[in-house]
Structure 1
C-alpha cells in the first residue's frame, strides 16, 4: 500500500480508535488470564508477573506502532496465545531462567525465518479459497460465542444484539462503538462490572538472566516456535491478506522476532502478528477506506503501551468485564469478516470443496500432538487440494499479491 497516507480528518480517527479499543479489550479480557495461570505455575512473584505483563505489552505496542506506521497497514501485533497456553503446562517443571533462555532461542528462530524469506514463499503457495476457508473456520467459534453467551446472561446478549441491528440500520459506521458504550452502561448500572476497586500502579521491569539447556531448547523453545508459527503467524497473515493488505510476512516476522528477543529477559514469552483481534481492525468497520485503517494499528499500540506501563492494574481492569460481554462484543465485531471469508472461500466452484474441507476441519478445532486446529485445518485443505487437483496453485492468489518491492521490505 501507499506509504504516504491521505490527509486525515477528525472523523477518520473515530472508527479506527474504537476498533482498536475493542481489539485490546478482547485480547486482555479474553485470553490474558492464561498469562496469570502460567505465572502461577512457574511460581512467579507479583513483581515478576508484573514484569511479564510490562514487557509483553510494551513490546507488542512498540512493534505494532512501528509496523503499522512504516507500511501504512493495520498490522496488529499480540502475544502468542497458544504459546502461553502451552507454557501453563511446562513452566511448572522448567526453571524460570531456562524458560527465559528458551524464549530467546524461539525469538532468534523467528528473526532467521523472517530474514530468509522462507515463510513468505510458503504463504504464497496457498490457494485463495483455502486461505479464506481457514480464516472463516478460525473465526466461526467467535461468531457462535456472540450468541452462546445467552445461556449465562440472556438480557445482556439480547441488548447488545438488538442494539447492533438497530445501529447497523441507521448508523452502520458506529454500530460497534454504540454497542460497546451501551454494554458498559448496562454492566455498570446493573452492578455486573465494578471498577471502583481498581487502583493505578506503575509496573517495573525485572531482569532475569537466561540459562540455555538442551532440555529447554527441545522441550520449550522448539514447541513454542512451532505453535506460534502455525497458530498465530499463519492465520494472522491470512487476516491481512483477506482484507487486501499486502505487506510481506518477512519484515513482520523479523521485527516481532527482534522485539521478542529484546523483551524476553524481562519475562515476555513471544509476540507476533495478531489473528482474531486483528480482524476487528482490518475490515470495513474499522474504516471504509482501507488506506486509513493503519490508524487502528497505531492506536492499538498506544493502548498496549499504556496497559504495560501500569502492569497488572489495567490488565485486572479488563478481567473485570464479564466473559459474556467480551465474547458477544467480539463476535458481533467479526460478523462482517466471517461473512466475507465464507463468500471468498466458496466463490470459485473448482476449489469450493477443498475450501469447505478447510473450513470444517479448522472449525472443529481439534488439537493433535500439541498443535491447534488452525494448523490441521490447513493441512487437511492442502492435502485435499493436492490430491484432487495435483498442485497448490494455478494462478496468483491473494496471498501472493505483494509487489516485489514490498516483499523486500
Structure 2
C-alpha cells in the first residue's frame, strides 16, 4: 500500500479562510460553479431524457453530483489548502448515454459502484500517481488544450450569432482587464457576468419554465450484471483517472500547486460509490473547473475559490431543478461567452505548456486526436490523444525522454 499524502498539520481556521477570501476568489468560485451548472448539466439532462429516466431519477442524479461533490471539494480544499474541485465525469456521462439504449438504469448504477471501488483500490496502491508521472506534461496539457478549445470557438461563435448579448460582455471583460485599477475591484469575468445578465434582461430573453424547486434524492438499488460491468467499468475508470483527473492535475501543476494525486483518487472513488447509491455518476478532479478556480489571484488563496465553489454546489444540489431551469433559460450565447472569457487564460497557458519546449510533435498529435474526438471501444478522443501522442514522441522524439526535467 502507498503512503497517502497527509493534510497540512496546521489547518486553516475559519478566520484565515475569511481573510483569504476576496472578490477575485469569490468571482472565480462563482464562475466555476456557473460553468458546472450549465453545459455539463445539460449533458446529464440530455442523456437522462434520451435514456428514459424519470424526472425523480434525473433530479436525484443532479443532487448527487453537486451536493456530495460539493462536500468533497470543501473538505479536500480546506484540508490541503489547494483548489481540489470534485465534480463528475462528463465524458463518462456520454459513455453511459450510449449504453442506456440496451442497459437498465439499475445495471448502470451497479457499474458506477464497482467503478468507484476500483478507483479506491488504484488510489491506495499508488498506481495512478506512478502512471501520471510517466506521461510528459506537454502531452497532458495538449490534451487539455484540445478539450478546452471549444470554449474559445464557442466564444467567437456567440459573438457572431448573438452580438447584443456577447459583445457587451467581451467589452466589459477587455475594459476591466486593461484598466487594472478597476479590475482589482471588479474581476473581469464577474464584470462580464453582470453586464451579460443586464443585456439578457434588456433583451427580454430570459424565460424560465415552471417546475419543482427542491431536489428529491432517492436511494436506488443497483443490479450487477457481467455485461454492464464489462461494458462500463473500464471506460468509466479511464475517463475519471486519465481524461478528467489527468486534466485537473495538469492544470493545478501548471498553476504551481502539487495536488495529492493518490489521495484525490481515493476521494474520487469514495465519492463515486456514495453518489451511485442515489443515482449519480462517478466523481473526478475536474480540469475546466480547476482552470477557472486558478484563473486569477494569488496561488496561496486559490483554495478559497474552491471552497466557495463547493459551498455553492451544495446549494445547487438542494435546489437543482430550480437552478438548472434558471440557467438554461438564458440565451446560449450568455453561457458560451461567459465560459469562453473565463477559459481564455487557461487555454493560452495550455498551448504554451504544450508547445514551448520538448515533446512538441507528440503534443501536436495529442491535440489533433483530442479535438477530432475519435471514439474507440466507447473511449473518447482525449484518452486516445494521450496514447497516440505518447507513441509519436516515443518513436520520433526519443531524445526528449532523455532530457526530461
SS in 2 for 1:345: helix
Counterparts of 2:54 and 2:373, CA distance in 1: 34
Offset of residue 31 of structure 1 = 2.1
> Could you tell me which of 362, 365, 374 is aligned with 2:373?
365
1:8-52 superposed Cα distances (whole Å, 9 cap, x missing partner): 566842111111111111122112122222322343332222211
Instruction: Name the residue aligned to 2:4.
Output: none
1:206-247 superposed Cα distances (whole Å, 9 cap, x missing partner): 111111111111123333223333331222221111211112
> Could you tell me which of 146, 155, 180 is aligned with 1:146?
155
Offset of residue 72 of structure 1 = 0.6
Offset of residue 395 of structure 1 = 5.4
- The alpha-carbon distance between structure 1 residues 394 and 66, as it changes in their structure 2 partners (threshold 3 A), is farther
Instruction: Name the residue aligned to 1:310.
Output: 319
SS in 2 for 1:266: coil
1:126 lines up with 2:138 in the alignment: no
- The alpha-carbon distance between structure 1 residues 44 and 352, as it changes in their structure 2 partners (threshold 3 A), is closer
Counterparts of 2:376 and 2:399, CA distance in 1: 26
> Could you tell me which of 278, 281, 306 is aligned with 2:290?
278
Q: How do 1:14-163 and structure 2 match up within 5 A? A: 14-163=23-172
1:382 lines up with 2:393 in the alignment: no
Q: Which structure 2 segments of 5+ residues have no match?
A: 1-6
Instruction: Name the residue aligned to 1:403.
Output: none
8 Å CA contact 2:361–2:397 kept in 1: the answer is no
Counterparts of 1:62 and 1:99, CA distance in 2: 24
8 Å CA contact 1:30–1:323 kept in 2: the answer is no
Instruction: Name the residue aligned to 2:200.
Output: 187
- Let me know the Cα RMSD of the aligned residues: 2.3
> Which shifted more, 218-227 or 8-17?
8-17
Counterparts of 1:347 and 1:92, CA distance in 2: 44
Structure 1 stretches of 4+ with a deviation exceeding 4 A read 1-11, 197-200
Counterparts of 1:112 and 1:95, CA distance in 2: 26
- The alpha-carbon distance between structure 1 residues 39 and 167, as it changes in their structure 2 partners (threshold 3 A), is same
Counterparts of 1:11 and 1:188, CA distance in 2: 33
Offset of residue 352 of structure 1 = 3.1
Counterparts of 1:165 and 1:264, CA distance in 2: 43
8 Å CA contact 2:164–2:199 kept in 1: the answer is no
8 Å CA contact 1:79–1:270 kept in 2: the answer is yes
Offset of residue 169 of structure 1 = 0.9
> Could you tell me which of 229, 232, 241 is aligned with 2:241?
229
1:166 lines up with 2:175 in the alignment: yes
SS in 1 for 2:101: coil
Instruction: Name the residue aligned to 1:402.
Output: none
> Could you tell me which of 225, 228, 231 is aligned with 1:219?
231
> Which shifted more, 117-126 or 32-41?
32-41
TM-score normalised by the chain length of structure 1: 0.89
Counterparts of 1:221 and 1:353, CA distance in 2: 32
Offset of residue 157 of structure 1 = 2.1
8 Å CA contact 1:146–1:331 kept in 2: the answer is yes
8 Å CA contact 1:56–1:263 kept in 2: the answer is yes
> Could you tell me which of 174, 177, 180 is aligned with 2:190?
177
Counterparts of 1:268 and 1:351, CA distance in 2: 38
Offset of residue 198 of structure 1 = 5.9
Counterparts of 1:59 and 1:395, CA distance in 2: 42
> Could you tell me which of 219, 222, 231 is aligned with 1:207?
219
1:262 lines up with 2:274 in the alignment: yes
8 Å CA contact 1:200–1:314 kept in 2: the answer is no
- The alpha-carbon distance between structure 1 residues 373 and 314, as it changes in their structure 2 partners (threshold 3 A), is same
Aligned length: 392
